[in-house]
Structure 1
């Protein structure tokens, strides 16, 4: 597997063709910021979620009369992308429909994923284009996992702090599906201390998340995030794992008891023929 490598004076990054997935994100000093994918906990590092986010009821989706099995988070993360453009600090990978993809998702599409380094900031973005003659429903999300604790953070408690101090409601998961009733979320005035017990039943899902947040100790190294067109947020950390997934999404898992139609999934999008939609996040490392 040939990695596409980017580097500037502050960061280095590698992206694999499989899933257009980041393989490492490092500081100039060589410290890893991204989880390294040890399968003891989770072999993923930063998968791209398309054309659904989360699970479907009975792992089955439908588009009109077309019904097919669909794994959790869709098929893009297990698909091989083509490198379309590459400079020292930027790369773009593209995935387009194939006969195999149309058998489960009957649409002509193009998914371009871009990674770019600017100083201490990683810019990740994606554009989904409807290349066919029919309206195209889908969901999209990023699923990056960052080290917990961060390098040189010592034993300090790590926090996720939402810009604006919000305390969004959450939805409980039942076998990977969302329960429809809202519950009071664990943020207090926008602050959440990362702790083992929070994830005992899986990810924390916030259908109304935040446009920006900070992750790290109150005083010390941190990662600051900004999100574009990604209104849903999930946090996930398997018990004992040395990472925290900070996942901005447009769309979520189906609710318990939902039908299979992709267009009716929570916060799904539908693109008209020839239309496109873009999504992105920036993460800045502060030592």
Structure 2
């Protein structure tokens, strides 16, 4: 089911499957890309309870091995929802017998979408429903539409940064890094940047990035309190993904222990976790 929220500036639609943002429209222009399965079959999946790929698509917990596919199961599940007002909707997902077969934990996951002026605020709320520590990752994966030549686009960061990207080998980190060229904290985009895989930044000072077309600012993403940021597209695809993460893919040398995974969050019994991403339309 598609849920619509709106205010005087913006309209957003969200699919109850995956609580996935489908469109974000201002003045009849959609800033989220429209699916073309020749490139990709999603628009803005929620990544939970892992981000990226596990080594061998598996992990261990309490000496038992579990299988879990890339980015976890939330993006494929039906969320319930409570439409509180015209401009806000809150989605909810709880553990099921099917999730406990691959992820043996009790949890509540809420995704709240709220329109405020020219901004869409997306809140990610995790509650540990059990008497044991909840190990999890969570991340965002919105794909923003681009028009024409990707070389006309750039990413402007808001602080003085050293853009060290961490390399992936078969979707696991191999320990190698390189520096992405920038000028005045602005990265010029090209498909060549993504020949191997996504750009993954683990130690940015910035908490905002603006997608620009030439000198015109299009969309700003605030990712305060998200420690990692991924940037991704596919060859010739008409989108750029800006992905704030609280979690990472495995390292090629990881032993599989979920609680010792790089970037894992360890939420104490009956405690809560909250992060918010803000998408501002600047045109």
Common fold: TM-score over 0.5: yes
SS of match in other structure, 1:48: coil
Mapping for residues 123-142 of structure 1, pairs under 5 Å: 123-142=121-140
Alignment partner, residue 11 of structure 2: 12
Partners of 2:151 and 2:189 within 8 A in 1: no
> What is the number of equivalent residue pairs in this alignment?
282
Partners of 2:151 and 2:190 within 8 A in 1: no
Choose from 148, 158, 163 the match for 1:163. 158
Partners of 1:166 and 1:187 within 8 A in 2: no
Question: 2 CA distance for matches of 1:197 and 1:182?
Answer: 16
Question: 2 CA distance for matches of 1:64 and 1:58?
Answer: 18
Deviation of 1:113 (Å):
0.1
Mapping for residues 18-33 of structure 1, pairs under 5 Å: 18-27=17-26, 29-33=27-31
Partners of 1:158 and 1:217 within 8 A in 2: yes
Question: 2 CA distance for matches of 1:70 and 1:5?
Answer: 31
Choose from 257, 274, 278 the match for 2:274. 278
Alignment partner, residue 263 of structure 1: 259
Alignment partner, residue 199 of structure 1: 194
Alignment partner, residue 113 of structure 2: 115
Alignment partner, residue 232 of structure 1: 228
Question: 2 CA distance for matches of 1:178 and 1:186?
Answer: 21
Structure 2 residue ranges without an equivalent (≥5): none
**Aligned: 1:208 with 2:203:** yes
Partners of 1:67 and 1:104 within 8 A in 2: no
Partners of 1:168 and 1:184 within 8 A in 2: yes
What TM-score do you get using the length of structure 2 for normalisation? 0.95
SS of match in other structure, 2:30: coil
Moved more, 235-244 or 36-45: 36-45
Question: 1 CA distance for matches of 2:211 and 2:51?
Answer: 23
Deviation of 1:221 (Å):
4.1
Deviation of 1:271 (Å):
0.6
How far does the alpha carbon of each residue in 1:73-129 deviate from its partner, in whole angstroms, 9 at most, with x for none?
A: 111111111003331100000000011111111100000001111111110111011
Partners of 1:168 and 1:185 within 8 A in 2: yes
Partners of 1:167 and 1:186 within 8 A in 2: no
SS of match in other structure, 1:166: coil
How far does the alpha carbon of each residue in 1:137-159 deviate from its partner, in whole angstroms, 9 at most, with x for none?
A: 1111000000113xxx9988111
